[in-house]
Every structure is written in structure tokens, then in C-alpha cells.
A and B are shown apart, each in its own frame.
Chain A
């Protein structure tokens, strides 16, 4: 059982690191939002799932699963609100031609 938790923990941590790098290195706001919204959600979901598995079968790991569900719902909505607000105030997406 701890093998499953270990695999989940390391893969979740990998996605969190990738999302963090994505937020820093991407050229434009929308691509950064893309990285933060998707990569981070998956990374945290896997990480907290790994902790829930490590914690065994009791009430607390049920709450941990509730956190995973909440992050899965909340992060995309946050990303959507941010991108709409940015688009409404005139932020143009970055294009390859770099104008």
C-alpha cells in the first residue's frame, strides 16, 4: 500500500514542479494560466491522493479526498475567471510571430 502512496506522491510532486516551471517560463499570460490551472490541479490532486492512501482508511482521509475534489472544482473556475477578466480588459494572446 505504501508503494501506491509513494508512486502517487512522487508523480504529484512532479506535476507540481512542472506547473511551477510552466508558470515562470511561459511567454504569455494565457499560457501561464494554462500551466497553472491544469498542471497544478493535477499535481495537487495526485499528491493529496497519495497522502490519503498513506493515511489509511479513516475519516480524515475522507476529508483529504474532499480537498482533492474541491481543488479539482475550484482551480479551473479560478482560471476561467482570470482569463475572462484578462480578455475583457484587452490582453491579447501572444502569437508566434511575436508582434
Chain B
């Protein structure tokens, strides 16, 4: 039932979603919208990586890549958000 074609369609749909998020990153009025868009892109790439692993039948390699990518993405999101705490170009 779950063939490679189904996983491939999920993969392509997720990549389209990531490009939609890129639209939010480019358009976002405040810098925090951009950070929010990047956060969503970061978490979506975890799923894209795991799907790639399933398509190439080497899941245990890709799962490790996805875990480290998720951790790095999350830590960088926290650090950048704390950096912009007082400096955000936010119109009152």
C-alpha cells in the first residue's frame, strides 16, 4: 500500500510547502516573522530528510542526519531570537 510513489509525492509536497514558507520569510514585515518562517522550514526539513531515507532504503543514516539537523536548527533559532530581543525593527 505504501509504495515509493506515495512517499515521493509526500516529499514533493513538503518541498512545495517549504517554498511557501520561504514566501513568508521574504515577505514577513518584522524580523520575527522571518525567524518564525525559518523555524518552520527547519522542522519541515527533518521530515524531508527522513522521507529521503525511506526512499533510498538507508533509513538509519538519514535518521541520524535528521536528528542532528533538528537539534542544530532549534539551537540556532533560540540564539538568534535572543539576539534580536531588544533590536527588532518593530514599529510600535
Whether B36 pairs with A82 at a CB distance below 8 angstroms is: yes
Contact with B along A54-83 (1 / 0, CB 8 A): 110001100110110011001101110110
Interface residues on A, range: 35 or more
Inter-chain contact total with CB atoms closer than 8 Å: 139
Cα-based distance from A55 to B59 in the complex (angstroms): 9
Whether A29 pairs with B30 at a CB distance below 8 angstroms is: yes
Chain B positions within 8 Å of A16 at CB level: 14, 17, 44, 47
Interface residues on B, range: 35 or more
A window 16-70: CB within 8 A of B:
16-17, 19-20, 23-24, 29, 32-33, 36, 40-41, 44, 47-48, 51, 54-55, 59-60, 63-64, 66-67, 70
Instruction: Give me 15 A-to-B residue pairs in the complex whose CB atoms sit less than 8 angstroms apart, sorted by A's number.
Output: A16-B47, A29-B28, A29-B29, A36-B39, A54-B2, A60-B59, A63-B67, A64-B50, A67-B50, A67-B70, A70-B71, A86-B30, A86-B90, A89-B85, A91-B32
Contact with A along B46-65 (1 / 0, CB 8 A): 11001100100001100110
Whether B88 pairs with A91 at a CB distance below 8 angstroms is: yes
Chain B positions within 8 Å of A13 at CB level: 10, 13
Q: Which of B2, B78, B86 contacts A2 (CB 8 A)?
A: B2
Whether A29 pairs with B36 at a CB distance below 8 angstroms is: yes
Whether A82 pairs with B59 at a CB distance below 8 angstroms is: no
